Amino acid sequence: MKEPRSASRSAPAAEAPGLAARRAAADAVEAVLENGHPLEETLERLTRELDERDRGLARMLAATTLRRLGSLRALLRSLMERAIPEKARRVEVLMLVGAAQILFMDVPDHAAVGTTVTLVGEQASTAGFKGLANAVLRRIAREGKAILPDVADQPEWMVEGWTAAYGPASGEAISRALASEAPLDLTARQHPEALAEKLGGRLLPTGSVRLVEAGNVTALAGFNEGEWWVQDAAAALPALLLRPAAGMTIADLCAAPGGKTAQLAAAGARVVAVDRSAPRLRRLKANLERLSLAADIIEADATRLKAGPFDGVLIDAPCSATGTIRRHPEVAWTKAPADIVSLASLQARLLANAAELVRPGGVLVYSTCSLEPEEGERQIAAFLALRPDFVRDPVVPGECGIPAEWINGEGEVRTLPTHLPDEDPRYAGLDGFFAARLRKG
Ligand SMILES: C[S@@+](CC[C@H](N)C(=O)[O-])C[C@H]1O[C@@H](n2cnc3c(N)ncnc32)[C@H](O)[C@@H]1O
């Protein structure tokens, strides 16, 4: 792994405003694309020395670049006669970040061009490309979105998969929806209507509270008091399907960082929260503490765990997370078809063991934040073929406020980023999620 530059460099005192943020954004995009690391963690590491404003700018720059990577790359390719040599790959990343500012962000063109050219000039291996970067970015500034190729912002194989699963029109619409920024959804510990009113948010039919342009979440009213937590409206559905209530004992087998554990505990259920990742369980514990909620926490491999039997078992399985590309745009570029195959195999093993932990008559909910049928619909069909002692317990329209459009022919929840359309695009969309409710005979 290459040493990220912003970690090893201390910025000169008289540096242009925003230059450090742009350098960090380019470092983050480069590291994500090279090493496949999650963007949030990478940015966290690379922006530690920056002030809050520059941290926010770096995050916005990196996320916008990755969100629009497909069309930005195609644009650069269309404007350059020759590909940039491998040893100067950073030039391409810097130009991508520069072009993202010009086309998709509220940044003056001269600032986007000037800072990019300065950053290209910083290293001996890239300095020779200053003229190229200047010419290409100035042309983009002059001609604007008119020269942006009309191509998908995610890899071809991914979009082809969505087209095969949901039809050509939907595949394209999903791809476009995933290139938008997501709103901020909150789950209230209690009283969602009151929370919506207090924060000026919109109460969604399923009980989530939606905010736009909310800024720093920890500064929102009620954060320190543990009145709510951040959770996409679609991510809030699987726990609701268990119909959690006081007196129930529920195992949450892939629990960290605890969004669904918190929902189950807030509803009064006794929750056993299991995860194999100790650091992620530490986050779960801290989250529950902030919310004044409790769960029994177990660090274990849920494919082998022996416990229960439980009234309800939730498997919010590890998955490709392609449904969350609006929030985690790097997912489009860090996942490969082989990952889906290996994740599907892990999910099948999790389901097989979870089946043993459910009491007769109890409920098993399986969910993933993936748009890939291999991690959703097909996984459940294969499980039911092996386990005739389980049947689907279909979700009905209106249950928990879930509209008919989000329920497939088998009574499973299938949300898409194109769902929940709105005249104001800032309020539109949902993460792509799959959730099936099964009952043990
Ligand atoms: C999609 S995340 C869970 C998100 C969580 N349910 C929430 O709502 O906040 C999947 C989790 O599964 C955990 N995991 C992966 N493989 C596991 C296994 N074999 N046993 C237990 N946990 C596992 C990961 O550490 C990760 O925390």
The interface predicted TM-score (ipTM) is 0.99
- List all residues 6 or more positions away from 189 whose beta carbon is below 8 Å from its beta carbon: 226, 227, 228, 229, 262, 266, 291, 293
Q: Whose CA is nearest to atom 1 of ligand 1?
A: 318
- Point out the ligand 1 atom lying closest to the alpha carbon of residue 257: 9
Rounded Cα distance, 170 and 146, in Å: 24
Look at residue 214 and tell me whether its pLDDT is greater than 90: no
Question: Which of 254, 335, 353 best tests ligand 1's pocket when mutated (most atoms within 8 Å of CB)?
Answer: 254
Query: Is the Cβ–Cβ distance between 274 and 249 less than 8 Å?
Result: no
Q: Is 256 annotated as a binding residue?
A: yes
Give the model confidence (pLDDT) of 169-205 as tens digits: 999 999 999 999 999 999 999 999 999 999 999 999 9
- Of 233, 241, 246, nearest to 196 by C-alpha is 233
pLDDT at residue 150 greater than cutoff 60: yes
Give pLDDT tens digits for 252-281: 999 999 999 999 999 999 999 999 999 999
CA 45 to CA 375: how far, in whole Å? 31
Ligand 1 centroid–CA 255 distance in Å is 5
**200 secondary structure, DSSP code:** T
400 labelled binding-site residue: no
Nearest one of 363, 174, 161, 144 to 252, comparing CA atoms: 363
Residues whose CB is less than 8 angstroms from the CB of residue 82 and which lie 6 or more positions away in sequence, other chains included: none
Atom of ligand 1 nearest to the CA of 239: 8
pLDDT in tens, 33-61: 999 999 999 999 999 999 999 999 999 99
205 CA to middle of ligand 1, Å? 27
pLDDT digits (tens, 9 = 90+) for 80-123: 988 888 888 899 999 999 999 999 999 999 999 999 999 999 99
The catalytic site residues sit at 369
One-letter amino acid at 308 equals G
At CA 392, angle to CA 437 and CA 384, rounded to 5?
Answer: 105
List domains and CATH numbers for the chain. Answer: 5-147 (1.10.940.10), 232-440 (3.40.50.150)
| pLDDT value of residue 213 | 84
CA of 314, closest atom in ligand 1: 6
**pLDDT for the residue 13:** 54
54 CA from centroid of ligand 1 (Å): 32
Centroid of ligand 1 to alpha carbon of 252 (angstroms): 9
Cα separation, 408 vs 352, in Å, equals 23
Please, what sign has the CA dihedral across residues 57, 63, 67, 71? positive
171 labelled binding-site residue: no
Q: How far apart are CA 360 and CA 280, in angstroms?
A: 31
Give me the sign of the Cα torsion angle 210, 215, 218, 223.
negative
Q: Is 258 known as a binding-site position?
A: yes
Binding residue per annotation — 11? no
State the amino acid at position 24 in one-letter form. Answer: A
Choose one of 276, 299, 343 to mutate for the ligand 1 pocket test, by most ligand atoms within 8 angstroms of C-beta: 276
Beta bridge partner(s), residue 413: 407, 435
> Which candidate, 222, 233, 269, 228, places its Cα nearest to that of 248?
269
Q: Which atom of ligand 1 is nearest to the CA of 252?
A: 6
pLDDT band at residue 1 using 50, 70 and 90 as cut-offs: very low
Cβ–Cβ < 8 Å for 208, 182: no
CA of 317 to the centre of ligand 1 (A): 6
Q: How far is residue 203's CA from residue 159's CA, in Å, rounded to a whole number?
A: 31
Q: Backbone phi, then psi, for 173, in 5-degree steps?
A: -65, -35
Instruction: Write out residues with Cβ below 6 Å of ligand 1.
Output: 254-260, 274-277, 280, 301-303, 316, 318
Q: At what angle do helices 89-104 and 109-120 cross, to 10 degrees?
A: 170
In the reported structure, the alpha carbon of residue 234 is separated from the centroid of ligand 1 by a whole-number distance in angstroms of: 17
- Residue 235 alpha carbon, nearest atom of ligand 1: 8
User: Is residue 60 a contact partner of residue 99, using CB atoms and an 8 Å limit?
Assistant: no
The closest residue, in CA terms, to atom 11 on ligand 1 is 254
Q: Which residues contact 54 (CB under 8 A, 6 or more apart)?
A: 18, 20, 21, 24, 47
Residue type, 374: E
Instruction: Give the span between the Cα atoms of 434 and 417, in whole angstroms.
Output: 12
Residue 275 labeled ligand binder: yes
Model confidence over 318-339: pLDDT tens digits? 999 999 999 999 999 999 999 9
